[in-house]
Structure formats: C-alpha cells, structure tokens
Structure 1
Amino acid sequence: MTGSILIVDDDPVQRRLVEAALTKFGHTAIVTDGGEAGLDVLDGPNAREVSVVILDLVMPGLDGIGVLKAMRERAINIPVIVQTAQGGIETVVSAMRHGAFDFVVKPASPDRLQTAISNALKVEAVEDEMKRASRRRGGGHLTFKDMITRSPAMDRVIRLGQKAAASNIPILIEGESGVGKELVARAIQGSGDRRSKPFVTVNCGAIPDNLVESILFGHEKGSFTGATEKHTGKFVEANSGTLFLDEIGDLPLDVQVKLLRAVQEGEVDPVGGRSTVKVDIRLISATHRNLLQQVKDGKFREDLFYRLNVYPIFVPPLRDRRDDIPYLVRHFMEKVAPTDPRRRLTGISAQALAMLQAYDWPGNIRQLENAVFRASVLAEGNVLTEEEFPQIRAQVEGTVDLGAETAYATAETVAEGARQADEAVAETTGSALSDDETPARPQPRFGTLRALDERGNVRALADVELEMIKLAIDHYNGQMSEVARRLGIGRSTLYRKLKEYGIDPEAGRVDRLAS
C-alpha cells in the first residue's frame, strides 16, 4: 500500500480537480493551499505518510521553486511532480534543476497524472530495494582501487589520498556538492591502519545550531530540556577510528572553539559533563565552501582553519573529468540491474552517451547517478537512449517541449502529449563546451522553438516571436481567429504584428522572408 499524495496548490479549483483524479485511482490526498503549508506537512509528524508531492510552480508567497529548494536543504527526498500552465518554460527547467521528478501541463488529464505518480513510486520502490540490498551486503572496506575513474584530473586526488592514508594528520577535502568527497574520505580510511575501526560521518550543515555541540561532543542526562538520556557524541563514537565532518564550513562559531580544542588536545567536553573525555580519532573534514574567504569574512575561525587545512585535497567537478562519465554510467546501470529480475538493459546508445558527456552536471556525480538510475528503472526498451533523459536533452539542445511526453511517460499517454504539441515553447541553458568540443545541434522538431542561435547564444526575443507566429499560422492553416486565440492575443494585435514582420495575412500562410 502506498502512502498519501501531497497536493500543494493555491488554486482551489485545481486542488479539487487533482484530488478528484487521485481519488479515482485509489490514492489518498493531503491538500494544502500554498508552499508554506506544504512544507509544514513535510516537516510535521505526518511526513512519513507522503509518497509523492504534486506541486504548483506559480504561487503567492513561497512558490514551487522555493519549496523545492527548501526540500533539498532539509534533505527531503520525496519525488515531486510539478504542475505548470502553458508557457512557464523557464520555471519548468529551473524546477527540474532543483530536483523535480516530472512535470505535467495544466489542466493535466487524470491518466497523465497517474502515469507520473506510478513512475515516481516505481523509482522509489527500486531505490528502497537497492538500499536494503546495500545494508544486507554490509562490511567491506572501500579503497582507491574501488573508485570509478579514468580521468587524469583524478590522478592527483588518488595520489594525495594514498599518501594521506599512511598518516594520521587532519585532512580537508574541498570540492563542489556531489563530487564524491565522502567517497574519497572512505577510501582514505579503508586504505590506512584504521580500516577495521569505526567510520563516523556527520553532516554539519544538516544539524540544528542548538544541537550541534551535543551531537558532536555528547551530553549528560538532564543537562538541558529534552536530554532524557546520556549521549556519547560522535567524537566518542569514532574513538580509535575516523570522524568525517562534512560541510564543516556550516559549523557555528561557538562550536568551532570546542572543535579546535578537540583537535589540539584530543579531548572533548560533553554538555553538562564534569570532566573531559579523551579521544583518539582520525579527523577528515570536507566543504564545498571557500573556507579561506569565510575566514576573511569572519565566519570561520582562522586558527581552526589552519588546524584543519594541514593536508588539503581538491576533488574536481564532473565537468572537468568528462572521461569518467561512460564508466560511471555503466557502474550506475549495473547497480540497478540486481533489483530488476528481467535484467533487460543491455547498454546505452552512443548518442545518449555523447549527450551526457556534453552536459555540465551542476550536481556532479550525484546528479548523474540519479539521472541514470531513473532512466534505467523507467526505460521501456533494452537500451538507454536520449529519450530516457528529457531534462538533460532539453538543456543540451536548448529546447524543451511541454507538449511532448517526458521519458517517464508510457505509450498510453503519448496521444495526450501529441494533442498538446501546439502548446510547445522553448527554453535554453546551453552547455559550456569549448568550440572544438561542441556537438552538432539537433534540428528542432515541429512543435518546438530553437532558443539558441548557431553560435550558441540566446536568440533575440523578436526572432522567437516571429517564429512562433509562423509556426501557429502554418499549424492552424491560416485560420487567424484560432491563431490569435492560441497565441493568447487579440486579432488586432496579431494583424499589427503581421504587418510589422511583413507577413501577408490574406495569403493564409507565411511568406518566406528574406534574411
């Protein structure tokens, strides 16, 4: 039995329509009237009941993008299906970048909603099975030989990590979110003499400020409100092993003072304790921030920075190690295979792989893994193609078609997408490749607009408007009333624009204009 579906929409009519559609397919709905109310549910005691979120993007107050950002900050990993009215392309692509699972165009048919929900639940089920399988396997020590890389950019990381494993000096791992900093930390621990000892991780950015000190250093029973039991703290848990402090740049300044003492003296002061506790740990810290700049800004203690930055290791972003992408894709596909009894996926097409290598991956390896994982679970064929990566393709090609179905849709919903093809519009992000790396841009399909020019720059608004008018006139066979209605403008405005662009409205078609 699946959990409830959380509906977040400020429009009461849309809320009723979506709730009726969900009820029709046997789902239980939790309905909220805005972003703040939706987050309250996700932060509240009923959060575990929510399996999928259906989120409106345009709302007063906290909009859909704001909700997605807040969910990511809170590490809430529930799949989100966003809703958009026709024309909201920039917001749609932004939502996908912030982690949305799928999108539907308002008013979405019940079948389209059910397809999106079913796919989201399917992905979550496979993900849960993978986690259970990982826990069952347990044990084992990760070493640098287990790292999936063929990139020269990672050679330095591995060399530094191997040298670091032979000592106990503090290590600071730097790099963007998602590049694999914890993986490097685990490889260091697994390659050293503490490999059989505890490896304790702490995400400093995910702990409320008022609990950081207690979680790190422990507390005595009754030392503060809610301290009903004694807690040893992460430093003591990691005794004789390795303590990995992720996002250390997010530590409050008052806690940094205690951390400095723990690093210098090898002892911690539990909250409410009467004596210090000696600890023997290997400390590895990580951050995506520029700690030196934070020191200059007064947000990070200079003395602590130099204590932690004894042996820095920088992990490059995925866009600087594109050679790794084919190997990582294969690895992630193999991780999914054991959860699929049919083991039907045999590989990935050359075009799809080239597209993945052309993309810049702002979320780095974590984003790539999520993309491959979802594509593998939802693919209809035995080979992953470009169709299985609609969000990536939209950004590499510079277009996104709101009328066409995403890769998460099944054959039953393709007809619905075809009916909406006349509502298609465009968006661009383009990839930051050098001139000699830039792949040939695919020609836009009918129903889409090319948003980038031949040099990769955003086209002028007037050019896009002209092309849209041409497309509409051709699509509706010169029926100007229908063209104006579909474009959302009055007939007089349409005729004025036709005159400005030199189009003969009496011809019933678009004259080819000289460039």
Structure 2
Amino acid sequence: MLLNRILVADDEESMRWVLSKALRKKGFAVDLARDGEEALRLIQSAPYDLAILDIKMPGLSGLELLDQVRELKNDLLVVIMTAEASMKNAVEAMKRGAYDYITKPFDLDVIDAIIEKVSRAREITSQMSVLKEELKDRYHLEKNIIGNSPAMREIYKTIGKVAPSDITVLVQGESGTGKELIARAIHFNSKRIGKPFIALNCAAIPKELLESELFGFEKGAFTGATERKLGKFEQANGGTIFLDEIGDMPLDLQAKILRVLQEKEVTRTGGSQNISVDVRIVAATNQDLEELARKKQFREDLFYRLNVVPLHLVPLRERKEDIPLLVEYFLKKTCAELEVAGRTCSAEAMALLTASGWPGNVRELENTIKRAVILSSDSLLTPADFPGLRVQRGGEPAATDELSLEALVDMKLRVSLTNLDKMETGDIYNLVLRQIERPLVRFVLEKTRGNQVKAADILGINRNTLRKKIQELGIELRKSD
C-alpha cells in the first residue's frame, strides 16, 4: 500500500471522529483539522499522501485550500466532501484539481472505494516515475553512446543543448553511424520523455504506402481500408517522430511534411478534417541534402526547415580512438545477451579491429564482434576470430597476417592513456612493452621464415635471449620455422 498518512479537515467533530476511526482501523496515520487554516499549516509542515477536505469550513474554504495545495504540493491527492450535492460544486472541485468528490452523508464503503482508487493511482504514478527514470537511464549519453573522441564530445554537447527544447534537428552521417541512437538520446533527455518515440525509415517503405504510414487513412479511403488507421504523426502526438533516410522521401510527400512543420496539423488519406498534432521532428539522412536541393531532388524550403540544428556524425574510421571502447562495450553486451562467458580481445586482435576501415561503421563493428563471440569457443579473441578483416594502409587493404605494428602501438597507447587513473605511476612503459613484445617477436620471426639468427640480429638481441623470449611469450614455431 502506497498510502501512509492522511489529513482530514472538517468543521464537524462527528465527521472527523468517524473518518479518523475508520482510517486508523485500516492502519493509516491520520491528522485532523477543524478548519482550512489549521489544515493549511499541517500541509505545510508534514508530508501527506491524501487530504480529505470539507468544501465549507470557517475562514478558508475547501476549494480555497485546494487552490493553495495545488501551488504548494501538486502531488498531494485531494478529495472534496460536501453536504450540497450540486453540479456547480462538483464541477468547480474537479476543475480546480480535486482527485474526487463525495457527497454527505456517505457510507464508509465509499471511503474504502476512494482509498483503493487513490492507492491504485499512486501506484501507477510511482510506476510511471520509475519507468521514466529507467528510460532516461537506458538512453543516458554516458552509458549508451560510446566514445570519448573530440568528435563525440562535440556530439554530446550539442545533444545537451538541443534536447530540452522542441527545435528540429537534422542528423547526418553514413549508414551505421548510429543516427537513430542519437535521435533517441535527444528524445529521452527531453521534456517529452514518457511520450511516444516513433521511428520510420522512409527508404524502407514503398512510395505508394508511405503517405498512409505517415498520415493514416480513413475507412474506405482505398481498397482494403476496412477501418480507420492512425498515421505515425498521430501516434507520436506529444512525443517525437524520427524520420530516417528522409532524403529518399518523394517530393510530393515532402510538401506535406513541410505543412506539418508549419501548421502542426495532418489530414488522413481519404479524410477532410485537419487534425492538430504536437510532435517534435528529428530527421536523418546519409545523403547531402543541400546538394540534392541544388539539383531540385529535395525541396529547398523543407531542407532549411529541417536543418535548424545540423548534427554531423563522423564515420568510425575518423574516430578510431573510440574503437577499443566500442569493442569492450559490444563484447559485454553480446555476452550478456547470449548468456555466455565473458570474452576479451588480444592486443593483436584489438589492433586489427582498430586499424580496419569499417565501411559499415559502428553497426558493422557490432555485427563483427557478435559473430566472433558466437563462433569462438575461447575466452580470448585473436585475429583468427576475425577472418576477412583487413587493415587499411593508405587506402589499400592489407592481409590480416600482416598486422600493422604502428596500429598496435597506437591502439595500446590510446587505451592506456584513457585509463591512466587506473594505472600505477610509471606503469605505462612496462604495460605497452609487454603488450607489443609478443607480436613484435612473432612478426620478425615470420618475416625471417623462422631464422632465429637473422631475427635476433634484426631485434638487436642475442640468439639465447631470443630463445628465452620465445619460451616466455609462448610463441609456437611452425615446422618450417
């Protein structure tokens, strides 16, 4: 039960006595007030879950007290009692924000029903509050949008600035960069949290169906329209609509989207009524809308209405310092989803992932990690678990067995510098050295075809030291070596 403390205010002593006895018998803490002024002092000094107020009391009336309660403690539920069963009193009480209205005399069963109703209402309110916090936490920037690169820090700043307002945002970026995730972060960090977030991919729906998806249709509007259907704009009323790949939207529909932005109303297909909608629009595209507008392939006026706040997501290849963080995040996420033991990446595998070009961006990286976790039976993922992945060198891919030593050192430095607060003083040299020693020795041995004399000479160590390193680092020599 979510009700604990109740205030009863009535100038009739008998009514106060009856209600206090009945409520205390049910386990509630009950405070009593003889008039409106006393009730107001109690409300100001103590927390109550419910107030039962008589409409007519000396001095401050129940309705006047209700007005002050709404200003002081808007979450306090108030039930108004009156001996005059007039429509005027009932309407006035509810208009001023009363939760319910009861007429004297009444049976105690009525109070029981009120208590049960109020308890349910407070439970729903509590659940909604928790849900809002969960949704907000789910799309909290620090937990769900991964990256600490300068480019991502600018994205975080922009989201923080635009989320509280209703300003239109245009998210631009290559496929797989996380445009919908950014749109959701804007919504769930805005005042519209708790309201609908509706996403629609304009490129995934045939042209002839897109209009009815957006604006809905009336019964009988076309063959097969056997009942009325609400469009995405009506479904998103009060919340946010995310129009993905808006550059693929036909020109005639672009004109109707412009009307929604200007007039804040829609008309269903086959209908004549203009329906008001309160919707925030976040659009996204992987195309250059400004260039399309110059070529008359996208409405210029719509482009300027959408491009109020442009938000550009850089491709993953331009923020490679974020890849180790993303890999760690996707490993944890995938292992949790598949309910398998945790996986980690070897230094060589991480360097390979960091050095890749990722034309599919973050989405491709996530799918690659998921595939490796599913197919590998080892807890440590190596380059062998990422077949076909290529390192980018000057625009040309290199084979996976020719792992870039520069990429490996660069990756380890980025990871280490990101976690300096977790390291002991002076530990970075030994940490990086340990991580690159094994691939370095193995790399040189492979290039010398296993000739340990040549390898030792290239490495600048004697042959006995090299043999010791091979044993310590667990490097397996091939038969040909």
TM-score range, shorter chain: 0.5 to 0.7
Query: 2:223 aligns to what SS in structure 1?
Result: coil
Q: Is the 8 A contact 2:200 2:242 kept in 1?
A: yes
What's the counterpart of residue 264 of structure 2? Answer: 266
Distance 1:399 1:303, change over 3 A: same
SS in 1 for 2:388: helix
- Match of 2:238? 240
Task: Kindly provide the CA deviation profile for residues 304-340 of structure 1, in whole angstroms up to 9, marking residues without a partner as x.
Answer: 1111111111111111111111111111111122244
**Residue of structure 1 in register with 2:431 after alignment:** none
- How many Å separate the matches in 2 of 1:308 and 1:393? 38
Q: Is 2:355–2:392's contact at 8 Å kept on the other side of the alignment?
A: no
Can you list the C-alpha shifts for 1:367-389, whole angstroms capped at 9, x where unaligned? Answer: 00000000011112111110010
Query: Equivalent residue for 1:187?
Result: 185
Give 1:445 shift: 12
Specify the code of the residue in structure 1 equivalent to 2:377. E
How far did 1:391 drift?
1.6
Q: How does 1:84-99 map to 2 (within 5 A)?
A: none
1:115-167 C-alpha deviation (Å, 9 max, x unpaired): xxxxxxxxxxxxxxxxxxxxxxx962312222211111111111111100121
**TM-score, reference length from structure 2:** 0.54
Structure 2 counterpart of 1:269, which letter? T
- Confirm or deny that 1:172 pairs with 2:170: yes
Shift of 1:393: 3.9
**The one of 350, 357, 362 aligned to 2:347:** 350
Conserved? CA contact 2:164–2:190, under 8 Å:
yes
Residue from 206, 209, 223 that aligns with 2:207: 209
Q: Check conservation: 2:241, 2:281, Cα contact below 8 A.
A: yes
Do 2:356 and 2:389's aligned partners in 1 also have CA atoms closer than 8 Å? yes
Partner of 2:398: 398
Query: CA offsets, 1:57-87, max 9 Å, x none?
Result: xxxxxxxxxxxxxxxxxxxxxxxxxxxxxxx
Partner of 1:305: 303
Q: Which runs of 5+ in 2 are unaligned?
A: 1-132, 412-438, 450-481
**Is 1:224 matched with 2:219?**
no
Q: What code does the residue aligned with 2:135 have? A: G
- After superposition, the C-alpha distances for 1:88-136 in whole angstroms (9 at most, x for unaligned) are xxxxxxxxxxxxxxxxxxxxxxxxxxxxxxxxxxxxxxxxxxxxxxxxx
How do residues 8-87 of structure 1 correspond to structure 2 at under 5 angstroms?
none
Q: Is 1:378–2:375 an aligned residue pair?
A: yes
Q: How many residue pairs were aligned? A: 279
Q: CA deviation at 1:360?
A: 1.1
What does residue 253 of structure 1 align with?
A: 251
Task: Give the 5 Å matches for 1:358-507.
Answer: 358-393=355-390, 398-399=398-399
Cα pair distance change 1:202/1:347, threshold 3 Å: same
Cα RMSD after superposing both structures: 2.9
| Larger gyration radius, structure 1 or structure 2 | 2
Q: What do the CA deviations read for 1:157-192 (whole angstroms, capped 9, x no partner)?
A: 111111001211111011111001111111111111
Q: Structure 1 263/350 Cα, relative in aligned 2: closer, same or farther at 3 Å?
A: same
| Corresponding residue of 1:198 | 196
The residue aligned with 2:421 is: none
Identity, in percent, stands at 46
Q: Is the 8 A contact 1:386 1:393 kept in 2?
A: no
2 CA distance for matches of 1:444 and 1:265? 69
> Following the alignment from structure 1 to structure 2, what is the Cα–Cα distance between the partners of residues 327 and 380?
23
The structure-2 alpha-carbon separation of the partners of 1:282 and 1:444, relative to structure 1 and needing over 3 Å to count, comes to: farther
Instruction: State the 1:398 CA deviation.
Output: 2.4
Aligned to 1:459: none
SS in 2 for 1:390: coil
Task: Tell me, in whole angstroms, the C-alpha distance in 2 between the residues paired with 1:292 and 1:279.
Answer: 28
C-alpha spacing 1:445/1:143, structure 2 compared with 1 (3 Å): farther
* Alpha-carbon distance in 1 for matches of 2:344, 2:287: 37
Report SS of the residue matched to 2:310. strand
- Correspondence for 2:35: none
Contact 1:143 1:188 in 2 (8 A): no
Corresponding residue for 2:158?
Answer: 160
Render the CA deviation track for 1:341-375: whole Å, top value 9, x for unaligned. Answer: 451x3411011001111111110000000000000
1:303 Cα deviation (Å)?
0.6
Q: Separation in 2 of the partners of 1:288 and 1:267?
A: 28
Q: Distance in 2 between matches of 1:445 and 1:239?
A: 68
Specify the alignment match of 1:143 in structure 2: 140
Letter in 2 for 1:195: I
SS state at 1:300 partner: coil
Q: Secondary structure at the match of 2:200?
A: strand
Alignment partners' CA distance in 1, 2:331 and 2:197: 27
Rounded to whole Å, the distance in 2 between the matches of 1:341 and 1:243 is 34
Distance 2:349 2:391 in 1: 13
